[in-house]
Chain A
Amino acid sequence: MNATVQQILVAAAVIGALLYLILRGRKKKGCDSGCGCAKKEPLK
């Protein structure tokens, strides 16, 4: 694997990671998967 291929793979991984974090943030609207989401119940 030459240096250019490695650079392309790095760029793809970084873009993928960024996209994942952005899309995850949008989809879940603040609900954190790491700590388990509570059900969205209306406030009483």
Chain B
Amino acid sequence: MAEPAPVFRRFAIAGNPNAGKSTIFNLLTGMRQKVGNYPGVTVEKKTGRFFGSHGEAMELLDLPGSYSLQVRSPDEAVSRDVLLGRVSDTPRPDAIIAVIDASNLDRHLYLVAQFLELEIPVIVALNMVDVAEQRGLTIDLLALRNSLGVPVIPMVASRGQGIIELKQALSRATLQVSDRKAQLPIVLEREVAALSRILKCNAASVRPEAMLLLSLEDERLAAEVKGDTALLKEIQAARERLKLSGLDPIAAPVDARYAWVSEVCASTVHRQGEDSHGLTFSDHIDQILTHRVWGWLAFIGMMSLMFVCIFVVAKWPMEWIGDAKDALANFVRAHMADGDFRSLVVDGVIGGVGNVVVFLPQILILFFFLGLLEDSGYMARAAFIMDRMMSRVGLHGKSFVPLLSSFACAIPGIMATRTIENRNDRFVTILVAPLMSCSARLPVYAVMIALLMPASNVWSKAGVMLCMYLIGIVAAFVMAGLFKKTILRSETPMLLLELPPYRAPVFRGIVQRMWERAVIFIRRAGTVILALSVILWALLHYPKPTTPEPTPSEILSHSLGGRMGHAIEPMIAPLGYDWKIGIGLVASFAAREVFVSTMGQIYNIEDAKQDNEDLRTQMRGERRADGTAVFTPLTCLSIMVFYVLAMQCISTVAIVRRETGSWRWPLFQIAYMTGLAWIAAFVVYQGGHLLGFR
């Protein structure tokens, strides 16, 4: 068998995911590829051979798709190490074929900016020019070549267009290193040059190595210098000098690259439909929705509208469910002999589960709106305005999605923190995620708001509901800031956020997600809530007093639940709660919505004769020993604030235990959240009293 021809040149093909790298790789090599693994990490290594336009043998190495060389994942580390010539069995490539998506030039050029800093020849394959044209983008190729200082080959790789021109570019006698790159601040350039002089590595890659070491996060840097303490000290000293001169060594190069990318795009890309300032309709909307002031007003406006709809639209279906529940209870009452089991079925099962199921319409409307905001692309804008606040307290940009998921339920939110690489950042997010108002709190808020302001219009009710959500958000940010400064210190990485274009929401998808939530909610009501309601009923009825013909109040007071309520009453009395609310607090530790069913059961026992009276009416009529109302506006507010902040969810405790691998964190979380809830409820109730409110 003949020996393969000696390789004339080695190329690495690199780019963002979905730029068309694999298509170009396959076009060049005719899919003659060899797949292996980089040692140490499970990242695929793919190489292939092809012949240049003069018949010379070339080798092509396919690098994993990545957005930057910032080294946050094994993929990015492999790309960087290969391009710096650090991988022992892979020689440093002679040039990089940078594949970029012409329809997303601004995003893809960031990686090209990093390639140019590596001081290695680059050939840009400008792929998907047809898509760019369809989107009304015109790219000035000559200007782009001049700005980048490298050959730019327009391509439609999926149709094989441009492949001959690419081969010709790869076969040129000389491939030159571009002299164009992002302009770094002069102090940073000086430190890079100083560090380059003391680094012991391949002369061609010494500057990029120095640049990289200066801009690494502390933990990565320690791993990178591999115990060379002298070098580590030099780098740390250089970073200190940079910080003293007001430069963030991590953020400064990123900012410089983005500024350079915008400059390049501004001079090379023109969009149809742009106004004289180069802005599209979507840009104009974004100017409002991501504005420092208008952005927040728009956010609050949209949320208020959502809560108004929750109150207005859900009213009728809630009444229907309530009527159906009462009809069922009456039917059982009419067809079953009086006794404990009938009471269990009517008050425990139908009352307990029914009082929770009644909130299904509100929860579905909440999910409808969340789906609408997410699908339309608005949520990314909300993330953008929140990011300013999040980064101020040191929260990781990737915390946004977990925190957003926590509005539905903290459990998927906590699971979603797995995308955060840094342990401390991840734990901070886990600790604050349950402070976001989940859908299980909605029934508690709705009942309390109905008691607080029975006659007010829906806008006021929506305003109070919005305040509860905002209290949760603010508490999460404040606590995150506190944890980041004390027990979970770490540096805050920057958020690279892509704002997707606005688009019409797909209603089928939203309805499907609502249906899924409905199934989950009803299944939960029929299993966990049902079981808890049965146990709760038993706790509120047994043991029975020995006195002949006890009154309903005596039964409740003598029961195990009643005794628990009495036992914790001294602790909760300063918050304005009586022992019956105490029973609700204890019972709802299993799940927050159980508070509503507990209250329903308690007042059903006491008002045994007033069958099927609305829970809110029963609660409104509840009196203390001195004849004053139990559920005053202040008590209602205090209860709501308590539920915003307290960790009343056993399932969340279990998931935090699993995700953090120890009991230490969930126990700490219960302690800090309960403490915070108690203090906040105390301040609301006692502070309100001092100010003369009742």
Given contacts A13-B534, A14-B535, A30-B651, is CB(A35)–CB(B520) below 8 Å?
A: yes
Interface SS majority for chain A? helix
Give complex CA distance A20, B531 in Å. Answer: 7
Nearest CB to that of B654 among chain A residues? A30
A1, B528: Cβ atoms closer than 8 Å: no
* Contact between A32 and B535, CB atoms less than 8 A apart: no
> Is the Cβ of B341 less than 8 Å from the Cβ of A9?
yes
Quick check: B341 and A29 within 8 Å, CB to CB? no
> Are the C-beta atoms of B340 and A7 separated by less than 8 Å?
yes
Neighbouring B residues of A2 by C-beta, 8 Å: 337, 339
In chain B, what residue has the closest Cβ to A39?
B415
Pairwise interchain contact B534-A17, C-beta atoms closer than 8 A: yes
A35, B340: Cβ atoms under 8 Å?
no
Query: How distant is the Cα of A1 from the Cα of B340 in the complex, in angstroms?
Result: 11
In the complex, which residues of chain A have a beta carbon less than 8 angstroms from the beta carbon of B591? 34
Is A44 an interface residue, CB under 8 A from the partner? yes
Which A residues lie within 8 Å of B412 (CB)?
35-36, 38
10 A-B pairs with CB atoms under 8 Å apart are A7-B341, A9-B341, A9-B344, A10-B341, A21-B531, A24-B528, A32-B651, A33-B520, A35-B520, A36-B411
Of A3, A17, A24, A33, the contact of B535 (CB 8 Å cutoff): A17
Complex Cα–Cα for A30 and B535 (A): 20
| Min CB gap B66→A, angstroms | 15
Partner of A6, one of B339, B408, B528: B339
Q: CB distance A31 to B418 under 8 Å?
A: no
Known contacts A20-B527, A30-B658, A34-B528; is-contact A6 B340 (Cβ 8 Å): yes
Flag if B418 contacts A43 (CB, 8 Å).
yes
Question: Residue-by-residue, is B234-249 near A (CB-CB < 8 Å gives 1, otherwise 0)?
Answer: 0000000000000000
Complex: chain A residue closest to B409, CB-CB? A35
> B residues within 8 A CB of A6?
337, 339-342
Contact (Cβ within 8 A) B655 A30: yes
A33 with B528: in contact, given A38-B412, A38-B415 (CB under 8 Å)?
Answer: yes
CB-nearest residue of chain B to A8: B341
Interface size on A, residues (CB 8 A): 29
| CA–CA, A12 and B639, complex, Å | 35
**Cβ of B523 under 8 Å from chain A:** yes
**A9-27 interface bits toward B, Cβ cutoff 8 Å, 1 = contact, 0 = none:** 1100110111011001100
Which B-chain residue is minimally distant from A5 (CB atoms)?
B341
CA distance A3 to B340 in the complex (A): 7
Neighbouring A residues of B342 by C-beta, 8 Å: 6
A32 in contact with B339 given A13-B534, A14-B538 (CB within 8 Å):
no
- Do B524 and A33 touch across chains, with their CB atoms under 8 A apart? yes
B485-536 residues at the A interface, CB under 8 angstroms: 516, 520-521, 523-524, 527-528, 530-532, 534-535
A10 in contact with B340 (CB, 8 Å): yes
Is B336 among interface residues, defined by CB-CB distance under 8 A? yes
Cβ of B620 under 8 Å from chain A: no
* Across-interface contacts of A21 in B (CB, < 8 A): 528, 531-532, 535
Contacts of B563 in A (CB 8 A): none
Find out whether the CB atom of A14 lies under 8 angstroms from the CB atom of B534. Answer: yes
| B45 contacts the other chain (CB 8 A) | no
Distance in angstroms from B602 CB to nearest chain A CB is: 18
Complex CA distance for A41 and B411, rounded to whole angstroms: 15
Using A17-B535, A32-B411, A34-B524 as known contacts, say yes or no to A44 and B418 having CB atoms under 8 A apart: yes
Contact yes or no, B341 A32, CB < 8 A: no
- With A14-B534, A17-B535, A21-B528 already in contact, the answer to whether A35 and B341 are too (CB < 8 A) is no
Contact of A30 among B521, B532, B657 (CB under 8 A): B657
Minimum CB–CB distance for A17 against chain B, Å? 4
**A1 touching B339 in the complex, CB below 8 Å, given contacts A10-B538, A36-B520:** yes
Residues of A within 8 A of B340 (CB): 3, 6-7, 10
* Cβ of A33 to closest chain B Cβ, rounded Å: 7
Closest A residue to B521 by CB, please name it.
Answer: A34
Q: Is the CB of A10 within 8 A of B344?
A: yes
The 0/1 profile, CB within 8 Å of A marked 1, for residues 241-281 of chain B is: 00000000000000000000000000000000000000000
Q: Smallest distance from the beta carbon of A16 to chain B beta carbons, Å? A: 8
| Bound Cα distance from A35 to B535, whole angstroms | 22
- Closest B residue to A11 by beta carbon equals B538
User: Which of the listed residues B344, B408, B531 has the most CB atoms from chain A within 10 Å of its own CB?
Assistant: B531
The 8 A-B pairs of least Cβ separation, nearest first, read A30-B654, A32-B651, A35-B409, A34-B524, A6-B341, A6-B339, A17-B531, A17-B534
Contact indicator A34/B655 (Cβ below 8 Å):
no
Complex Cα spacing A3 to B410, Å: 44
Query: Are A33 and B527 in contact (CB-based, < 8 A)?
Result: yes
Chain B neighbourhood of A33, CB < 8 A = 520, 523-524, 527-528
* CB proximity of B392 to chain A, nearest CB, Å: 28
List A contacts of B520 (CB < 8 A).
33-36
B652 to chain A, nearest CB (A): 8
Q: How far is the CA of A14 from the CA of B521 in the complex (A)?
A: 22
A7 shortest CB reach to chain B, Å: 6
B222 to chain A, nearest CB (A): 20
Give a binary string over B303-341; 1 marks a CB under 8 Å from any A CB, 0 the rest. 000000000000000000000000000000000110111
